[in-house]
Structure 1
Amino acid sequence: MRQSVQRVVPHERERIFDLVADVESYPSFLPLWKAARIIGHTADGYRTRQSLGIGPAKLDFISHTALTFPDRIVVASQDGPMRSLRMEWGLETAGPGQCRAKLDLVVEVHSRMLQKLLQATYGEMAPRLITAFERRANAVARGEIPPPPSFVPNAGTDAAPVPPGDAGKRQSAGEER
């Protein structure tokens, strides 16, 4: 399944970046996501153990997230049941208080049956994901939920970036919690 969508949302790109980078919050608002936990840092982002639910099936895998603040996030995996998972977010300012969010999504699993179930159940997943992030940004703006932690790039250091939710808990690449 390959999909692309873009939309102008009424939020600053830094806010959308922080929401997308806050992977550990995904299970609370995204369809499919059952679990997401950062397990280590890399030079350009972090590794996450994730679990998706597709009907009665559960897909567990590890992904790598590359963060380029504030305009690009790429999540990729070829682990476990994933033949190919790639979510590429592009964010650009579209005017005062507005962001053009673009999502290119590829989700292919090894099992043909699961692939068909995925397509039948979540056909237009990319627009659903952008809508979910836009709703979450709206809820933050209305004060209904707290804002995500801000992504803090480590300018001028060789250290891995500190993703949201992990400030002060730096780990070396590949180290598991």
Structure 2
Amino acid sequence: MPHIIKTQNSPYSAEKMFELVANFQAYPDFLPFCTAAHGEPVAPNEVHGTLSIHKGPFTKSFTTHNTMYPDETPKKIAIALVNGPFSQLTGEWRFVDTASGSEVTLDLQYQMATGFFNQALSGVFDWIAKSMVDAFCQEAHRRHAQEKTD
């Protein structure tokens, strides 16, 4: 099963990075491959998030059950598949405060469902998952850079 771990340092706090990742509805504003996003609360600190992704000839939607842990150290968002082109998808975002900001990690394990189209999508999903951490750090800079200079 493919396993992706991507970590990046950010000059912004773990709290700011957590809030950015937890805001599903904003994803199409800054993730170039995300064409639609919707978060549906299902319990306190639990959301079903549906993303529609488009890259090249591929367009797919998938839904994950996301459990938020905003008060834990490290802050994290646990991810589990509800439905989509995967037979398995689990993982988490982790946000750790550091002396210079935070360390942001996306840790995912996934298996595409059988079928030619879904197997071809595997490489696209790998690229998307790896680029997400960079995109969130860039969006945090766009949103919060002015605060750092004030």
Q: TM-score, normalised by structure 2?
A: 0.79
Could you tell me how far apart the structure 1 residues matched to 2:49 and 2:76 are?
17
Kindly provide the amino acid, as one letter, of the partner of residue 100 in structure 1.
E
Shift of 1:44: 3.2
Could you tell me how far apart the structure 1 residues matched to 2:88 and 2:7 are?
21
What aligned pairs does 1:18-167 form with structure 2 within 5 A after superposition? 18-70=19-71, 71-96=75-100, 98-121=101-124, 123-143=126-146
After superposition, what is the alpha-carbon deviation per residue over 1:39-93, rounded to whole angstroms, capped at 9, x for unaligned?
3332331112332224333322322110000511122214132212234111111
Kindly provide the amino acid, as one letter, of the partner of residue 82 in structure 1.
F
Unaligned runs of at least 5 residues, structure 2: none
SS at match of 1:11: coil
Would you say the 8 A contact 2:113–2:119 is kept in 1? Answer: no
Would you say the 8 A contact 1:49–1:60 is kept in 2? Answer: yes
Cα RMSD of the aligned pairs, angstroms, is: 2.2
Could you tell me how far apart the structure 2 residues matched to 1:85 and 1:133 are?
20
Kindly provide the amino acid, as one letter, of the partner of residue 89 in structure 2.
L
Shift of 1:27: 1.6
Kindly provide the amino acid, as one letter, of the partner of residue 95 in structure 2.
L
Could you tell me how far apart the structure 2 residues matched to 1:107 and 1:33 are?
19
- Residues 47 and 122 of structure 1: CA distance in aligned 2, closer, same or farther (over 3 Å): closer
Would you say the 8 A contact 2:77–2:92 is kept in 1? Answer: yes
Unaligned runs of at least 5 residues, structure 1: 144-177
Deviation >4 Å, runs of 4+:
none
Could you tell me how far apart the structure 2 residues matched to 1:65 and 1:25 are?
16
More helix by share: 2
